[in-house]
Chains A and B, each alone.
Chain A
């Protein structure tokens, strides 16, 4: 057992600069769930971000309100990599229950901060230990006893600030942002931070081999989670009706809508909202409501996760066949039902694509960054109304609930597309119309909204057999004609959904294809592979159905590694189905352990295949 003996008032031993890791390490904070560490962790993250250091924060939390172990990992990367890192260099061990495992997970040479009263065995000798007098500092700070547990986390913020060199002024500015300027809260937190910094300066004699230093790599960048970005994008897409049922990890998307909408969508004259958010009784009702709303002319959406998606299956088919626009955000997590509700995974790709009964297939958008969450937030409505169909946006817990840095979002580049809607004047002009006629040859019919003042506006919407004039039919030829038109419409969708992004094609000998939140791990893996003399082109698919670029990419390389964060390699399966003649070149690289992918795993998987 290593015993660390600190003498006071001694200068820390110098570590040669070349031995100091600057801005390229990972911090892991282990706390019991519900102990209020979120503020502390966000503060560290924000302060590093403010210092210009590329940084990402990931919350690994249990499905529990209080007590079970929780981890927050912060990765600093001078090179700007945003993926989860497999290594942990700095451990803040606030949770006695997970102390042993947490300590084992540290890299050799790592450092471990822990409350000095936590009688834990310091079983590793290749780690430097920093006990912190948490109780004492909190007690001395004079904060109300009821807040002590909560504010105790500020001790490690202060000690880390000292050890790593995080600027205290940036910590204060981070807290200012967190508490939206509420002075009292900022002051009581800063009190503890300052006390901890002072204590550390006076008592810690060992220098940390990990340091932060100011850079300018986050200048002009923003930091946000994907759910808030998706919500904001939806607001700028003109969402007017939201129905939902709470489920992790999608809840914070609706929370964000409830934050942004009152700010951005109030009728200035009447001071009343120009939107409605309805908390439904379940997901069956949530999707029913958005279908009714889309039918009546709203830009309607819901947000859910796997279990909710399953409940939405029947209605999804109705929306598909009645051709009602609406948007469903599925923030994916591990299944089944309750499953591992707080762990990430790209688990619903296939089920969303084909959701429901009766030959359905759907447009799915696959954002991979908060910037795309914003963009697909507004674009999904244009696609839904243009195509008159249900559109899915498949995000996941990692993208949705974690903090990412990004360039600022771009204001929608295209005017709103409300699709083919005939109003009373248009009806008078066309004279004759039928709800499901393919007038333009693109498979997309014209619709009217209920309440249109015109004798010819009405039509009867039904899921059951209908002909091109929306009349009841059980005739095979009429229904086949309808299915043929829906297939044509799907082909039209293929030409207007977001196209993939392809990079690194020069000198490439193999292809990597992926989507969604795997992107940062792959971007980083491309560099590692290049160092290992493997040149891989990378295509990131951004929507289903596949656009022609996807087929071209698959045809171009003899081996295509398809990276999925699910067990069955769902994207690989879809590709094999879509391009059976090329199926032999598709190699599934799939993992489903509840965690975001790492560059190391992607690199090694590809290397294994290339060996």
Chain B
């Protein structure tokens, strides 16, 4: 006997899209992989914020993490490029069409090793987009070598003992001049979503370094990038609430207990203090906090650094026209015959 279950009316967002329209192809990652949970966060945040999927351009390098753009926002163009050098591809595309909403996913190997140079230059150029590093301390796709973010003393079945110091991608980003730097944990969906929303509202490059456990190669008991470790050790710098431009601020907090950060598009992130006196708008303080965390092996998460004023993006730096280069007509692209004649006149 067939039973009909009353299906609840599908929720639609500002643009009239259902959440399903933000999904991608089925994931082929290992069940339980942290990267999949980040993909889900992207889907729900883009749905909730009413991000226009046709305007999104997804970018990635190579790795398990870099495969994920195929698994979210199936209505958006995506470019799975080469290992470590997605930043350059994204730069070319975003400079060409400044209307695109850039959403990039990389891995700790992709960004921290082969792609370190491009990462730093992406930061330096302040290419406006969201850049997520799905950080598992290991090379997943090549089956378990250490990445440059692995902590000293970590052990892997394949690779043995790691004795090299880790690279802190958040610190690298801040030193490079990044204007939005956050760290989070795939096992903390609320925080990941709040940070993603803030990142999408940021004018400029937003870096999210999200610890994203690799359940196959680096989720064992003594791993510092495991779910268990993260759940036990995560220290949030603050409790975050994202409030859209149109919304009223209804979170209640007492004076001095929270910092409201006004984003460029009018939205606000309210950072309710958990750790006394952490000010994410202070660059030097951010760097010292990261350094202290490294020293004491603390897993701090939250919005580590943000700067909202005078952020010159690459479009500003290139003094570009509002009209995207991709929209130029043939007449705008090719100067006239008279223009050629006048150039030639100087060469006779």
Contact = CB atoms under 8 A, between A and B. Distances in A.
A241 B88 CA distance: 13
B82 A314 contact: yes
B54 A241 contact: no
B92 A290 contact: yes
Contact of A281 (B80, B121, B339): B121
B77 A272 contact: no
Contacts of A300: 92, 96
B78 to A, nearest CB: 4
Nearest to B74: A458
Q: Which 3 A-B pairs have the closest CB atoms?
A: A288-B88, A292-B92, A238-B333
A298 B326 contact: yes
Interface residues of B, number: 60
B118 A285 contact: yes
Contacts of A221: 348
A472 B68 CA distance: 12
Contact of B82 (A223, A236, A299, A315): A315
Contacts of A222: 344, 347-348
Interface stretch (B223-231, B233-241, B300-308, B317-325): B317-325
B347 A274 contact: no
B5 interface: no
Contacts of A451: 54-55, 57, 77, 97, 99-100, 324, 326
A235 B335 CA distance: 8
Nearest to B52: A453
Interface of B: 25, 28, 53-55, 57, 59, 69-70, 74-82, 85-97, 99-100, 117-118, 121, 318-328, 330, 332-335, 337, 339-340, 343-344, 346-348
Given A275-B325, A284-B88, A463 B81 contact: yes
A276 B82 contact: no
Contact of B93 (A235, A295, A454, A455): A295
A278 B319 contact: no
Nearest to B117: A281
Contacts of B343: 232, 260, 263-264
A476 interface: no
Contacts, number: 219
A265 interface: yes
Contact of B69 (A260, A459, A460): A460
Contacts of A274: 321, 323, 325, 328, 332-333
Contacts of A318: 81-82
Nearest to B28: A472
Nearest to B76: A458
Contacts of B348: 220-222, 408
A458 B54 contact: yes
A272 B78 contact: no
A224 B321 contact: no
A471 interface: yes
B344 A408 contact: yes
A276 B334 CA distance: 15
Contacts of A583: none
Contacts of A452: 54
Contacts of B121: 280-281, 285
Contact of B321 (A273, A280, A290, A411): A273
Interface in A97-116: none
Contacts of B75: 455, 458
A456 B69 CA distance: 17
Given A276-B320, A297-B325, A458-B78, A450 B93 contact: yes
B80 to A, nearest CB: 4
A370 to B, nearest CB: 10
A411 B334 CA distance: 10
Nearest to B120: A281
A285 B88 contact: yes
A140 interface: no
Contacts of A297: 96-97, 325-327
Contacts of B333: 238, 240, 274, 299, 416
